[in-house]
Each structure stands twice: as structure tokens, then as C-alpha cells.
Amino acid sequence: MAQISKRRTLAACAGIAVAAITAAGCSSSGGGGTSSSANNARGPITFVQGKDNVGLLAPMVAAWNAAHPTEKVTAKEQTDKADQQHDDLVQNFQAKSTTYDVVAVDVVWTAEFAAKGWLTPLKDSMALDTTGFLKAPVAAATYNNTLYAAPVSSDGGLLYYRKDLVPTPPKTIAELQADCAIAKKNGMSCYAGQFAKYEGLTCNVTEAMNTFGGKAVDAQGKPTIDSPESVAGLQYLVDGFKNGMIPQQELTFQEEQGRSAFEDGKYLFMRNWPYAYSLGSTDASSKIKGKFAVAPLPGVSGPGASTLGGHSAAISAFSTHKATALDFLKFLTSADQQKNNMEKGSLAPVIESMYTDPSLVSKYAYLPTLLTSIQNAVPRPVTPFYQGVTTAIQDNAYAALSGSKTAAQAVKDMQAAMLAASSGS
Ligand code: GLC
């Protein structure tokens, strides 16, 4: 790794004027491109993102490379697990590695990475125009009033349902619970979510808590999770495990396990992100093609509250080819790429007008439902200490779901652990 980094640094140095070399940190000791003259440097770059479940990455990189023969992008795919993606990036940043130029940043990592100085601020000569973008993903890529990443795809939770078996999707949790009888009658499981102990559990649990009126943090970021409303939200999931709405095996489910079980026809409902829509309709092995649709997540008396998800692309502070990296960010956020990601991979665009464009809505009927999900989505806490905060939520929620703590105790312990984590201890 160190060797590769050094080679990259030297290669970057070879192409720039001598006067700029010292300023760019291209001394004989190497050292990455943290100074502003790296902003002008061009050359090959590496783009790192989580596993491409939807097959968009290779054609996208090929299109860029054909147009940029001297500034080619090499794609590196991480695993499909959010926590492993995070840890891989942290290791690289901590080593000040110049191997990652552009990295996909989950909306909840922006604060941590920006506060640590690992991302290049997108301002002045590195500014990126976000006019016409949805507000939520732009806010999620912003920290301390500075944009640190280009919003690439948004995400909101959706209720996937088997329209051949449930003609009218449940609008409320009570209706969802009642519809489990249809699953039983058909020898199917009822509801698939993400309940393994990882980031997806935080999404599912805060979604349930917010739906019942809970709030993880207040406007100042102070934990306020210990409330009767949050307990009611968690209790709903605990009851789901107890009464069979959610099978025990889901304590190991991340997004992909639920998706393949739903595609296999084993579930009546699934909570998942929009990417699962395209795969359910196109996967050769999918048994549910044409048999499913999406609806807003159910709530107490109307639609529930989704957790805001999504990914941005940021330029590593240690990149030595930042001018190329910025052009690549502009390419990723261009209308053409956004449309392609939506049409081929059902990723949620960040360009707002695409959700109401009649020519798209007529082909992709789920777009208005997705827009509602994203516009009403609740962000997870914004803090540089997010990893501690999410661990506090996951550990205690998991204890409640697996039956080793009551929901009330779990929420109380969550609050205490969140308080400790948000002070950085
Ligand atoms: C999706 C969301 C992301 C979330 C992750 C959890 O990828 O876009 O924000 O953290 O799922 O697994």
C-alpha cells in the first residue's frame, strides 16, 4: 500500500511545474495533495464505492474513460456492507493514503470525515453547483455550512408489497399487522427488514421510533431518544419478532438477504431502499417480476417516517489529482448520469425535477412515492461522533429485539450511551 501511494505521488509530481512541486507536497518524502495546488492537478484517479449491486459502475466508468484517456478512473468496489465500507475509508484516510481520490460517502459519514479534515471542501475553485438538487441530500453533504461532497443518490425507505396478493397496500401499522394473515394463508413470511447489528438496524429502528413521534436528537444535536414515543416504536418491532410478523432469522438480515428472500417469493412485504425495485423486476432469478409494487412505509394513522439515506461522492484531502476528481464529481451529478442511474438501477436521483417529469413518471410509476419518502425522511443525527451514536442505538435495539432487554430499558440505555458518545468519550 505504501509503495502504491508513493508511486501515485511521484506520478502526480512528474506532470507539474517544479515551482508547484513543493507547494503540492510533492517533496521526496511524498505526502499527498493536501495543499491547494493539488486542486489544479490532473491525471488518473481511483473511485471507491460500496459493492455495485445494480451493475451501473462498469458502464459509467467506461463512458468517462472513453472521453478522458489521460484522466482515467479506476473503480474499486468495497463490500455491500455499510459498516465495512466506512471502516475501509477510515483506514485509508488515517494512513493519509493517496490511493483513493474520490470516495462514496454515506450521508451519515459526512460530519466525521469533514471534521477530521479528510475531505476537500467544495468551495472557491473547487465549488460544485447544486442548483435544482433536492434539499435533503445537499444538507447531508454539508457540514458547518460548507459543502464537502457531491450528492449522487438519495435514499428513502419504501414498503415493497406483493400486489398480486395485497391489492391495496397497508397505510398504517395496524393494517400491515392485519395483512400478515395473507402471508400465513399463502405459506409466506410477512415482513422483511434490516435487523442485523449494523447501520441498517439504526435506519429501521429510528424509522419506527420517528413514526411513533420519537426524536433521536433535538435541534442542537442533544440526545432526546428516551421518550415514551421511542419506546412505542421499538416495542412495535419487538412485538413483530414475538408475534411472528418478523421471523427470528432477520436478526442477521442486511439489505441483500431481505431482497433475495423477497425476490424468491418468500415474503409478502419488505422494507428496503429503491435499488431493490430494478433488481426485483430484472434479475433472472426473480420470481416476483410484475407482481410487486411500492408504497410509503406505514405509520400510526397515515404514512410513516422514513430514515434519510443516500450517498455522496467526495474528494479525498490526500488526492493528488483534484481537478480531475472535481470534473468526475460533476459528471456523476450530471442530468445524464442521474437519469441513467434511475432508469437502469432505480437509484433515487438528486435532481428534483426528475421526480415529476411526466415522461419519466409515466414509465416509472414509483417516482412520486419515492419523492414523498425522501421529502418526509428524517436524517440520522449529524455529529462527528456518529459512529459512537449509531453503536449506542444498534447495541441496545438489538438487545431488545433479541429479547435480552425490555424496550424501555433499551431506550434508556441508548440515551445514556448516546450522551457519552456525542461528547466524544
Ligand atoms: C443505504 C443508505 C445508507 C444507509 C445504509 C444502511 O445504503 O443509502 O444511507 O446507511 O443503507 O445499510
Asked if residue 207 has its Cβ within 6 Å of ligand 1, the reply is: no
From the CA of 308, give the closest atom in ligand 1.
9
Cell numbers for 230: 421511542
For ligand 1, the distance from its centroid to the CA atom of residue 78, given in whole angstroms, is 14
* Domain residue limits, the chain: 8-155+308-375, 157-306+382-422
For ligand 1, the distance from its centroid to the CA atom of residue 23, given in whole angstroms, is 38
pLDDT at residue 35 tops 90: no
CA 114 to chain centre: 17
Q: Looking at the chain, how many residues does it have?
A: 425
For ligand 1, the distance from its centroid to the CA atom of residue 157, given in whole angstroms, is 10
- Give rounded-to-5 percent helix, strand, coil for the chain: 50, 15, 35
pLDDT of residue 423: 77
| CATH hierarchy code of domain 157-306+382-422 | 3.40.190.10
Which strand (E) or helix (H) includes residue 359?
helix 358-363
Mean local confidence (pLDDT), 236-242: 98
Q: Residue 38: which pLDDT band, with cuts at 50, 70 and 90?
A: confident
Mean local confidence (pLDDT), 298-304: 95
pTM confidence score = 0.91
Percent of the chain residues past pLDDT 70, beyond the cut: 91
- For 324-350, how does the pLDDT look when each residue is reduced to its tens digit (9 = 90+)? 999 999 999 999 999 999 999 999 999
Domains 8-155+308-375 and 157-306+382-422 in one fold: yes
Helices (H) and strands (E) in the chain, counts: 17, 11
Asked if residue 199 has its Cβ within 6 Å of ligand 1, the reply is: yes
Question: Which is nearest to 50 in space by CA: 85, 74, 75, 83?
Answer: 85
- For 72-108, how does the pLDDT look when each residue is reduced to its tens digit (9 = 90+)? 999 999 999 999 999 999 999 999 999 999 999 999 9
Which strand (E) or helix (H) includes residue 45?
strand 45-49
Mean local confidence (pLDDT), 12-41: 44
Beta bridge partners of 273: none
Between these two residues, 126 and 4, which has the higher pLDDT value?
Answer: 126
Pick the residue whose CA is nearest to atom 2 on ligand 1.
Answer: 309
DSSP-H helix ranges across 36-153: 57-67, 82-94, 110-115, 135-140
**CATH number 3.30.450.20 given to 8-155+308-375:** no
Question: Which is nearest to 155 in space by CA: 304, 315, 348, 288?
Answer: 348
List own/partner pairs for 363-372 with CB under 8 A and 24 or more apart: 365/293, 366/158, 366/274, 366/277, 366/293, 366/294, 369/158, 369/294, 369/295, 369/296, 370/156, 370/158, 370/274, 370/294, 372/296, 372/303
Query: Quick check: helix, strand or coil at residue 5?
Result: helix
Cell numbers for 184: 400465513
